[in-house]
Structure 1
Amino acid sequence: MRCLLRPFVLAACSALLLASQLLAADGPSPAAPAEPAEMKQLFNGKDLTGWEGDMRLWSFKDGVVRGQTTSENQTKGNTFLVWKDGELGDFELRLSFRIAGGNSGVQYRAKVLPPKQGEVNQWVVSGYQAEVEDTPGKVGFLYHEKGRGYLCNVGDKVEVGEDGKPKVVGKLGEKDAIGKTYKKSDWNDYVIIAKGNHIQHFLNGVQTVDIVDNDPKNSAARGILALQIHAGPPMTVEFKNVRLKQN
């Protein structure tokens, strides 16, 4: 009986494995949670009151925050628009973004660094960054600006050890499948959730990263919120409907 059943068991296991692979390739999961009540809008709808940065590069019009560099109006290093009305601990942040050229990011639980000697840029920020760029399959990853670098790529579940090294411990879905949810050169929705040392990003309702940061030296439980303009070729990034709930 065992000999007769064994081929069927092996076939069933193979079918289940193939189905799981197809599911991962066809569509990422899980979905973003429903938006909680009582989220706070972080822009007043008129101007950049409550925020600080290089105002040569940042503007507000028709409900949209715009960061822009041109060949005549550049930044020598990455620069940030910093929220001045508090710090983030455990939180949920939701916003929409659109980008043309270059790359950007949403900085959170971060800190403003003092300028280096001779450095003109006063808004230098270090900390967790949710990537913003016009590249399907890359937008949505987690980076540590001026810190540990890449922490969690799109589609991965990661644990950062006490030694500060990230380790992939599982998959949310295939990177290319998640990338298909991105609307190139159009408005996209971001959800960022941080509870303790557990961080999640969602792009257009689909989870992109899941990370548990156990690094006692470099992880951050609190810090500022900021929006990035990256140094380099001319670029434009826009944000709207930026809203927050702190837990």
Structure 2
Amino acid sequence: MIHLLNHRTRLLMNLRLLAMVSLAWLPAVPTLADDIDSVGETVVLFDGDSLDGWVGNEKLWTVEDGQIVGRTNDSDPIEKNTFLVYSGKEFGNFELTLRFKIESGNSGVQYRSTLVDEDKFVVQGYQADIDFANTFAGILYEEGRRGILAKRGERVTIDDDGEKLTKRMGDAQALGNGIHPGQWNDFRIVAKANHLQHYINETLTAEVIDGQTDTAAKSGVIALQLHRGPAMTVRFKDISLRPIQ
């Protein structure tokens, strides 16, 4: 009887040791941008509970029901566009995915951008546009710099002198019909070298090859926009990023 108990004890100890060794070989799942450096690993930029890793005007940005909510009001309007900036890390080549719901006004997702005013949370750079009127949603706009680089349905190549060659890849109105203001939509942004693509609900809405080397950004911050003007509300969730080569 004693011999049998000792055998069982040794067996349990060996199984526990084997489990510990096996777990040690499992890859860690990254949840913070500081934890990720290798290509192909996905990082969650918003934990669903807090604005950890983000900086912005605390009066304008909150977390509600697992969503980042940006909200302005007419009684205390903002004087200029302001942003919630992801401060954990800057990114170069990546695939960024998120869900958005805009209930009024104009917003956007900044990428490869530069924080130019730390006190008022102002950034400049590439923007994947979002608007409730559904006029600009999906376009590629460069905030604070060159303006609209590609309208919805356009594939644009910019040469080193800033000249544009524009080709039509789809009808702007038809593409807009696949975007749903006031409802949740999927946004996917792909930035690889000087090739930039915007997808809403898995449909390509705008594409740019930015060959203007003195201006084209190779990396920068991710940020979310609140646009000056009438009161507005925009919501974001499920924000994640996968570095690519």
* Band of TM-score, shorter chain: 0.7 to 0.9
Query: Separation in 1 of the partners of 2:116 and 2:84?
Result: 13
Helix, strand or coil for the counterpart of 1:112?
strand
Tell me, yes or no, if structure 1 residue 185 matches structure 2 residue 182: yes
Deviation at 1:166, TM superposition (A): 2.7
2:158 is the alignment partner of 1:147: no
| Unaligned segments of structure 2, at least 5 residues | 1-38
| Structure 1 position 173 matched with structure 2 position 146 | no
Q: 2:72 aligns with which of 49, 69, 76?
A: 69
Q: Distance in 1 between matches of 2:169 and 2:207?
A: 8
1:138 aligned to which of 127, 136, 139: 136
SS at match of 1:237: strand
RMSD: 1.6
* 3-state SS in 1 of match to 2:62: strand
- Deviation string, structure 1 residues 185-215 (Cα, Å, up to 9, x no partner): 1111100000000000001110001110000
Give the whole-Å Cα distance in 2 for the aligned partners of 1:73 and 1:38. 42
Scaled by the length of structure 1, what TM-score is found?
Answer: 0.80
In structure 2, the residue matched to 1:237 is 234
Moved more, 174-183 or 122-131: 174-183
Q: Which residue of 1 aligns with 2:18?
A: none
Take 1:137 and 1:230, find their aligned partners in 2: how far apart are those partners?
Answer: 15
Residue of structure 1 in register with 2:36 after alignment: none
Structure 1: which 5+ runs fail to align? Answer: 1-35, 116-120
Length-normalised TM-score, structure 2: 0.80
Q: After the TM superposition, which parts of structure 1 deviate over 4 Å for at least 4 consecutive aligned residues?
A: none
Q: Which stretch of structure 1 is more off in the superposition, 39-48 or 144-153?
A: 39-48
1:164 alignment partner AA: G
Larger Rg: 2
Give distance in 2, aligned partners of 1:98 and 1:63.
13
Partner of 1:78: 81
In the alignment, is residue 113 of structure 1 matched against residue 113 of structure 2?
Answer: no
Q: How far 1:73 moved relative to its partner?
A: 3.4
How many residues align? The count is 206
Name the SS of the counterpart of 1:194 in structure 2: strand
Deviation of 1:140 after TM superposition, in Å, equals 0.2
**Aligned partners of 1:157 and 1:48: how far apart in 2?**
35
2:209 matches 1:209:
no
- 5 Å-filtered alignment, 1:6-155, equals 38-114=41-117, 122-155=120-153
Kindly indicate whether the alpha-carbon contact (under 8 Å) linking 2:40 and 2:243 is maintained by their aligned counterparts in 1: no
Question: Which residue number corresponds to residue 164 of structure 1?
Answer: 162
Q: What is the percentage of aligned positions where both structures have the same residue?
A: 40
Cα displacement string for residues 4-41 of structure 1 (whole angstroms, at most 9, x for unaligned residues):
xxxxxxxxxxxxxxxxxxxxxxxxxxxxxxxx974221
- 1:75 offset after TM fit, Å? 1.4
Residue 27 of structure 2 is matched in structure 1 by none
* Counterpart-to-counterpart distance in 2, 1:93 and 1:39: 9
Distance 1:190 1:184 in 2: 13
Contact persistence 2:103–2:181 (CA under 8 A) = no
1:137 to partner: Cα distance: 5.0
- Contact conserved, 1:95 with 1:189, CA < 8 A, in 2? yes
Contact 1:130 1:142 in 2 (8 A): yes
